[in-house]
Amino acid sequence: MPEPDAEFNVGYVAQLCRLELTAEETAQFQAQLSSVIDYMKKIDQLDLSGIEATAHAVPTFDVYREDVPSPSLPVEEVLRNAPQMNQNQFSVTKVVE
């Protein structure tokens, strides 16, 4: 078995992506994802010099469409799924004191 990835700290990464893990999740994910990351290191062995990166399977660039206005969803439709709303706007947790 390869050594677990010492650089991977699940608690730190969870913080970056705004997730809060329980102690149990932290321990479990640390172990599970360390073995996945070890597996990902397979690609370290390949010689990739001079190989361009593929971002999309089908390279399409600069796709334009006619700049013609079309109807938008009504405000009440857009807000229908909002967990909280106020005066026809999304309600957000206070950001400034």
> Interface with other proteins by CB under 8 A: which residues?
7-8, 10, 13-14, 16-21, 25, 29, 32-33, 35-37, 39-44, 46, 48, 51-58, 60, 63, 65, 73, 77-78, 80-84, 90-95
Q: How far is the CB of 45 from other proteins (least distance, A)?
A: 9
Q: Residue 45 in contact with residue 51, Cβ under 8 Å? A: no
Report the residue number, 23 or 58, with the smaller CB distance to other proteins: 58
DSSP annotation of 66 reads -
| CA–CA distance, 77 with 74 (Å, rounded to integer) | 5
